[in-house]
């Protein structure tokens, strides 16, 4: 891969836990724990894991919607963690986000035209009223809506249409990178495929790069160039999509994949059921965070030593003491 568009290095995000009468910080949630990855221009990196594993926090840190605790985020060769207010405003043109909930993410008091056009005004991207309206119509048509929709309000649209409005809003500033934060998990399965197909078409037409966040490996299978699997704030496996689906190496990825339905009923896959729930991220397990649920753990090794993410096959990285 040539110089990546985005390079995340040793990213950490801890959230304070407040307690007592004085609301002092008494503990910390370790949401993102020293993760590193790259995304090349035009690539889609799928970022997958259960709720609370830190994937959405990672996406928000990249956009500086929340401040990282430590680490570096290099975008086109510049560390955005060091950006001041003015540089961040410019960055918003290059990086956008599509949110999970198309119902909550659109202001119900604004028309669809105003929602999509807001960024054009903020960034001074329309010369006059005519240019503004022409661009809003162009964006609506790009996502499969039409000019008539401009003067309507979000509540008049279905979930899938609202997500299209969210996508049009993200495209308004012609971004290079879009963080898609579970963009289809609130939609019916039949609508999910339409939105994913739209995102794929847009990627090709507009040379977009995606960080595609999902809690389900089946959602990202077709859209991802590579997939990273997260567990309790850490990346446990990172590989080209085909390699990860055909031959997963980490026991957690194996368990996630075993839960993905196979369309062909003649093929049976053994379901791997993990013991217990995801541990509390305030006090994650020592060593390998997964050792309390891992079906192949070896103690005391797995509870004593953190497994580093190692490249065990070309471009296939895994964090497990026992897999090579
Ligand atoms: Fe399981 Fe140990 Fe590998 Fe962690 S390091 S995934 S506990 S075998």
Last residue of a domain, one of 150, 174, 198: 174
Same domain for 221 and 304, yes or no, is yes
**Best of 279, 285, 286, 290 to mutate for ligand 1, by most ligand atoms within 8 A of CB?**
290
pTM confidence score: 0.94
Q: Mean pLDDT throughout 22-38?
A: 94
Domain span including residue 135: 103-174
The answer to whether the CB of 322 is under 6 A from ligand 1 is yes
Same domain for 206 and 170, yes or no, is no
| Cα of 43 from ligand 1 centre, angstroms | 30
Same domain for 166 and 179, yes or no, is no
pLDDT tens, residue by residue, 91-110: 999 999 999 887 788 999 99
Same domain for 131 and 279, yes or no, is no
pLDDT at 2 over 70: no
pLDDT tens, residue by residue, 175-232: 999 999 999 998 998 899 999 999 999 999 999 999 999 998 999 998 999 999 999 9
Q: What's the domain count of the chain?
A: 2
Per-residue DSSP letter, 285:
P
Mean pLDDT of the chain: 94
Same domain for 192 and 287, yes or no, is yes
pLDDT tens, residue by residue, 259-300: 887 777 777 778 888 888 889 999 999 999 999 999 999 999
Q: What is the pLDDT of residue 260?
A: 83
Measured by CA distance, the residue closest to atom 7 of ligand 1 is: 291
Q: What is the pLDDT of residue 196?
A: 95
Last residue of a domain, one of 135, 150, 174: 174
Same domain for 130 and 205, yes or no, is no
Same domain for 191 and 273, yes or no, is yes
- What percent of the chain is modeled with pLDDT above 70? 99
Please check whether residue 1 lies inside any domain of the structure.
no
Please check whether residue 161 lies inside any domain of the structure.
yes
Please check whether residue 309 lies inside any domain of the structure.
yes
CATH number of the domain that residue 182 is part of: 3.40.50.300
Last residue of a domain, one of 154, 174, 194: 174
The answer to whether the CB of 320 is under 6 A from ligand 1 is yes
- 201 CB-side CA count, 13 A: 11
pLDDT at 1 over 60: no
Please check whether residue 179 lies inside any domain of the structure.
yes
**Best of 294, 295, 317 to mutate for ligand 1, by most ligand atoms within 8 A of CB?**
294
């Amino acid at each position: 891969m040539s110089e990546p568009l985005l390079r995340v290095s040793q990213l950490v995000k801890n959230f304070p836990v407040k307690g007592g009468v004085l609301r002092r910080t008494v503990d910390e949630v370790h949401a993102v724990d020293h993760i590193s990855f790259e995304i090349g221009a035009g690539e889609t990196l799928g970022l997958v894991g259960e709720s609370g594993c830190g994937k959405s926090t990672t996406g928000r840190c990249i956009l500086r919607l929340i401040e990282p605790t430590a680490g570096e985020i290099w975008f086109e060769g510049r560390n955005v963690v060091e950006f001041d207010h003015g540089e961040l405003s410019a960055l918003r043109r290059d990086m956008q986000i599509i949110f999970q909930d198309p119902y909550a993410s659109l202001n119900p008091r604004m028309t669809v035209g105003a929602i999509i056009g807001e960024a054009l005004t903020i960034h001074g991207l329309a010369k006059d009223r005519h240019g503004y309206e022409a661009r809003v119509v162009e964006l609506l048509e790009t996502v499969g809506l039409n000019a008539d929709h401009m003067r309507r309000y979000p509540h008049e649209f279905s979930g899938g249409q609202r997500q299209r409005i969210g996508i049009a809003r993200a495209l308004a500033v012609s971004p290079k990178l879009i963080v898609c934060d579970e963009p289809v998990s609130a939609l019916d399965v039949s609508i999910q495929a339409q939105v994913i197909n739209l995102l794929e078409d847009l990627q090709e037409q507009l040379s977009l790069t995606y960080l595609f966040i999902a809690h389900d490996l089946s959602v990202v299978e077709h859209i991802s160039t590579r997939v990273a699997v997260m567990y309790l704030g850490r990346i446990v496996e990172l590989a080209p999509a085909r390699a990860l689906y055909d031959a997963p190496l980490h026991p957690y990825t194996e368990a996630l994949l075993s839960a993905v339905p196979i369309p062909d009923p003649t093929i049976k896959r053994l379901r791997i059921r993990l013991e217990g729930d995801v541990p509390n991220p305030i006090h994650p397990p020592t060593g390998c965070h997964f050792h309390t649920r891992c079906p192949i753990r070896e103690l005391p090794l797995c509870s004593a030593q953190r497994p580093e993410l190692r490249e065990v096959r070309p471009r296939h990285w895994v964090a497990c003491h026992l897999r090579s």
